[in-house]
Structure formats: structure tokens, C-alpha cells
Amino acid sequence: MCEIIEPMDMNLPPLNAVRAFVAAARHQSFTLAASELHVTHSAVSRQIKVLEAFMGVRLFDRRIRQVSLTVEGLRFYAQADAALKQIAVATQSVMGQAPARIVRINVRPSFAVRWLIPRLPNFVARYPGIEPHVLTDTLPPDKALDSFDIAIRRGHGGWPASIELRPFLEDAVCVVASPALLATHPIDTPNDLATLMLLWAKSRKGDLDAWQSHVGVDKIVPSGQMQFDHVHFVLQAAIDGLGFAVVPITLASSGIASGQLRCLFPELRMPVTRYYYGIATDAGSEAQLFSEWLDQELLKHKNAF
């Protein structure tokens, strides 16, 4: 016999609006709250307006580039903050007894080191209950030794027939070197690269010649060469000032963003095969959340480069 449970007589405000309010109240800033919640400033402002309309009171006094809590806002913040913390404690208590939630991501080693891992803290912060397991493999996905939930590779080749591909990062190669090296060896034209050592990976050994042909510059004869097994070793050597490299922007992006590398001749780029990702047919909901996160990172990449 089923027991009918009557709903509690509680006039609850929208939880997302409460979260936005608590973050804004803690920081005394809509902008910092937006950064914490990974949303826009206008989204935070809109949620707080929804909450104020629901409660029928002003929670913030708004001034130019500054907000402060009203008396009602202070009272609500003290209790709402405590309530959200209690919900977090209750959630962690239950999650601690639940089976681990895992998403297995199959990528090539250089992509893992230079693109995925620097961005994973953002995913972990957003989904603390999901463990990303990064599986590095140089084999195509259809020959992978370990099962995976999501794989990321360039192009359409080497994918299991059962997986539907989704377009991911567009890419191009560019010339990179460290600012420290360029300070002692200024490079003004592509021909000046002949004064530096070329750093290259066996997996992308033709990039310099292809780049020269694509952008229409004379053949460059570097002062020397150093070969590495993977592009992430090439990039580390470039960061350490050993020479210049012609590498995909996707893999150099974290080094460029941090100031460890500089993209020379940014107008002289050569497009290369774009990345795709696929989700295994038996993947769980964690893979879908990771997919949505990848799509958000794709938008950031487009805006940055």
C-alpha cells in the first residue's frame, strides 16, 4: 500500500537565485559572484532581481560600480548562507556513501598535458562529485586498449562506427618561442628564424615545410635542430628557451596565455585538421556533463584565439 505524502507548506524562493544572492553578498560584488558561479554579470543581476521580486524587498543598494546589502539583505544573507552550507554538508554526506562517479577521457599525451589538464580544475570545481580519469593513448579510438566514455582526436579517421562525432576545436599552426629567447635573439621576419634552433616532434615533423609553403616564405635553414617524441616536450623545450617551434595553437594556448610563449607572426597561420570528440554509446550521465563542459571551453577558445 502506497503512502501519500502531502507537500510541505513552504514558500521557497528559486535556489539558483539564492545561490547568486549569497555569492554576491559574500563578495559585495556582482562581478566577483559571476566569476565564482561561472556565469555572466547580467545573469547574477537578473537572478537577484528575481529573488527581490519574489520576496517583495530590496536586498541590495545599487550604486555605480558598487553594491551593498540593505538591512533586509543582511538579515537574509545570514540565514541563507547558513542554509546553503547545511545543504552542502547534507549533499557531501550522501555522496560520500555513493559509488564514485567517473568520466574516462581518452586523449593523446600532448593534448592531455597542454590543453586538457590545465583546464580540468574548472571542471572539477563545477562538478566536485565527478572524477575525470585521463587516459593517454597514441592509438586511434577504434583501437584503444582501454574503454572510455569520451575520446578527443583530430579528424574523422579511426573512430568506432557506433560513435557520433561532434565538431570541437578548430586549429592552426604558428611559430612560437619564449620571450626570454626573443629578448636576446630578436625575430622581425620569418628569415630571422635561421638564427635559432628548430624544435620538432616526430609526430609533426613536416609542419615547418608545410607552414613555409602555405604562407609563402623562403625556405628557412635553422642553426640546428632538436627532435622529441611528443609535441608537449617540444613546447617545454621552447618555454625553456632552446629554440623555436612550429606547433598547433591548441597545444600552445596555455603557454601563450601564461606568457611563457609568444606566437610570432600571428597573421601567418596555417590551418590544420580540427578536433572532434565522441561519446561512447554506453557512457553515463557524467560523460554528458563533460560534453557540455567541453562545448563551453570551445566558446572560450574561440574568443581567445
Which residues lie below 8 Å from residue 95, measured CB to CB, with a gap of 6+?
A: 129
**SS3 call for 135:** strand
The CATH number that domain 101-170+274-304 falls under is: 3.40.190.10
pLDDT tens track for 173-185? 999 999 999 999 9
The answer on pLDDT for 260 being more than 70 is yes
Report whether 236 contacts 199 (CB < 8 A): no
> Average pLDDT over the chain, rounded to whole?
90
The domains of the chain are located at 15-95, 101-170+274-304, 171-272
CATH class of 171-272: alpha beta
Between 5 and 134, the more confident residue is 134
CATH among 2.60.40.1120, 1.10.10.10, 3.90.1150.10, 1.25.10.10 for 15-95? 1.10.10.10
Q: Which residues of 159-186 are buried (b: 16+ CB within 10 A; e: fewer)?
A: beeebeebebbbbbbbbbbbeebeeebe
Q: What is the pLDDT of residue 5?
A: 44
Q: Which residues of 265-284 are buried (b: 16+ CB within 10 A; e: fewer)?
A: beebbbebeebbbbbbeebe
Distance CA 131, CA 101 (A): 6
Whether 15-95 shares its CATH topology with 171-272 is answered no
Q: What is the pLDDT of residue 97?
A: 63
Q: Which grid cell sits at 143?
A: 583501437
pLDDT tens track for 73-109? 999 999 999 999 888 888 777 766 656 789 999 999 9
Q: What is the pLDDT of residue 63?
A: 86
Nearest Cα to 302, choosing from 174, 168, 177? 168
pTM of the model: 0.68
Least confident window among 161-165, 184-188, 231-235, 241-245: 161-165
